């Protein structure tokens, strides 16, 4: 596949390092697909663009403290960063490591005084398998990983070094089920007070899905001149949510996906046999895609040349997508995970 993703120049100073406070005070760019009109407001006024009978769908995944900083290498003192990707046993994880060449099979990486991990031989090219163990009698590995890990904020935010503030900032109010290594960031703008308001006026309905965010945000989309599909991600869409989505559309309401992760989960679920809306999705949403579940989208401003932008382009078209991003840059919007957002209707 040679489809080129939309790209643009993103100045470093436009990448938000902390979210707006309160979260709903973030700016909101609204793009109307029918008219091509672009308008500006704040997330606190998102209800002005919703209608009674619309259904907001959120992701209930919870971000785990998946980034660990340790020491290893030949002298045991080299700085090593590990990102937990997929649990493969009680104490065994498939991980991304940096610098990868220092994380060799048979080596040991230590994380403070209580936790260590042995590198297990594998056939992975860009991943490593770590078997964790406790260095303190009576301490369990699961708890030690929780203590040693930090919130896996992206590398473009403070070089990926999360802190106590990120524990709250990088988790949505809908987070229920552990499993993500990145936040579904579009939902970070929503607070309990804003949700209460939206359910009263205009009277929006709410549904939820689960999609555990994986490495798609960390991987380049173009490899050796070819477009690479996003990594598969685990998801679950309940039969109740599917029924609610179908009823909303049948009655003339709009299904408003809050985030690209919700879009991927819903569009996967409606393509599966009845009664099987869970598992791992490999759906790649790009220009030309036929949306069967999602009518509108709440999303953030994404990195240049990413699969997230391809998904947004599939909904907006390249011309309107380009105008939105050019205007957001011109108007001083804050970009990426902790930045401002966009509503596409």
pLDDT digits (tens, 9 = 90+) for 201-242: 999 999 999 999 988 766 667 777 777 788 889 999 999 999
Q: Which residue, among 26, 28, 68, has the nearest Cα to 48 in the 3D structure?
A: 28
Q: Which residue, among 23, 74, 4, 14, has the nearest Cα to 183 in the 3D structure?
A: 23
* Over residues 291-302, mean pLDDT: 98
Q: Is the pTM of this model over 0.85?
A: yes
SS3 sequence of 43-63: HHHHHHHCCCCCEEEEECEEE
The CATH architecture annotation of domain 12-63+164-344 reads 3-Layer(aba) Sandwich (3.40)
Evaluate if residue 304 carries a pLDDT over 60.
yes
Do the two domains 12-63+164-344 and 67-149 of this chain adopt the same fold?
no
Q: Over the stretch 96-144, which tens digit does the pLDDT of each residue have?
A: 888 877 777 778 999 999 999 999 988 887 789 999 999 999 999 999 9
Q: Over the stretch 165-206, which tens digit does the pLDDT of each residue have?
A: 999 999 999 999 999 999 999 999 999 999 999 999 999 999
Q: Over the stretch 32-52, which tens digit does the pLDDT of each residue have?
A: 999 999 999 999 999 999 999
Domain ranges of the chain: 12-63+164-344, 67-149
Q: Over the stretch 83-102, which tens digit does the pLDDT of each residue have?
A: 999 889 999 999 988 887 77
Q: Which helix H or strand E contains 95, and what residues bound it? A: strand 92-98
Evaluate if residue 2 carries a pLDDT over 80.
no
Lowest mean pLDDT among 63-67, 69-73, 202-206, 331-335: 69-73
Exposure string of 266-294, with b = 16+ CB inside 10 Å and e = fewer, is: bbbbbeeeeeebbeebebbbbbebebebb
Q: Which CATH superfamily is domain 67-149 in?
A: QueA-like (2.40.10.240)
């Amino acid at each position: 596949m040679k489809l080129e993703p939309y790209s643009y120049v993103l100045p470093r100073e436009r990448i938000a390092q902390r979210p707006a406070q309160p979260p709903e005070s973030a700016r909101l760019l609204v793009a109307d697909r029918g008219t091509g009109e672009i308008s500006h407001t704040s997330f606190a006024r998102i209800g002005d663009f919703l209608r009674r009978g619309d259904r907001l769908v959120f992701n209930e995944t919870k971000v785990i403290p998946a980034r660990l900083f340790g020491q290893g290498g030949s002298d045991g003192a080299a700085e090593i960063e590990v990102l937990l990707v997929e649990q493969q046993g009680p104490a065994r994880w498939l991980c991304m490591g940096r610098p990868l060449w220092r994380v060799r099979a048979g080596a040991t990486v230590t994380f403070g005084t209580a936790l260590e991990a042995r590198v297990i031989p594998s056939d992975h090219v860009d991943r490593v398998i770590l078997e964790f163990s406790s260095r303190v009698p009576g301490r369990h590995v699961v708890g030690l990983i929780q203590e040693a890990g930090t919130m896996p904020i992206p590398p473009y935010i403070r070089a990926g070094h999360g802190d106590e503030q990120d524990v709250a900032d990088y988790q949505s109010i809908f987070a229920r089920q552990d499993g993500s290594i990145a936040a579904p960031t579009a939902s970070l703008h929503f607070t309990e007070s804003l949700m209460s308001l939206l359910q009263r006026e205009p009277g929006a309905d709410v549904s939820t899905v689960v999609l555990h965010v994986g490495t798609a945000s960390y991987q380049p989309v173009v490899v050796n001149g070819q477009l690479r599909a996003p990594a598969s991600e685990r998801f679950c869409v309940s039969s109740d949510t599917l029924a609610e989505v179908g009823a909303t559309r049948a009655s003339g309401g709009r299904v408003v996906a809050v985030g690209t992760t919700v879009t991927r989960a819903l569009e996967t679920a409606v393509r599966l046999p009845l009664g099987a809306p869970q598992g791992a999705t490999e759906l790649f949403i790009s220009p030309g895609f036929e949306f069967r579940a999602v009518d509108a989208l709440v999303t953030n401003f994404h990195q240049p040349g990413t699969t997230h932008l391809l998904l947004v382009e599939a909904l907006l078209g390249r011309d309107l997508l380009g105008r939105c991003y050019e205007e957001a840059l011109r108007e001083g919007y804050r970009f990426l995970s902790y930045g401002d957002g966009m509503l596409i209707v």
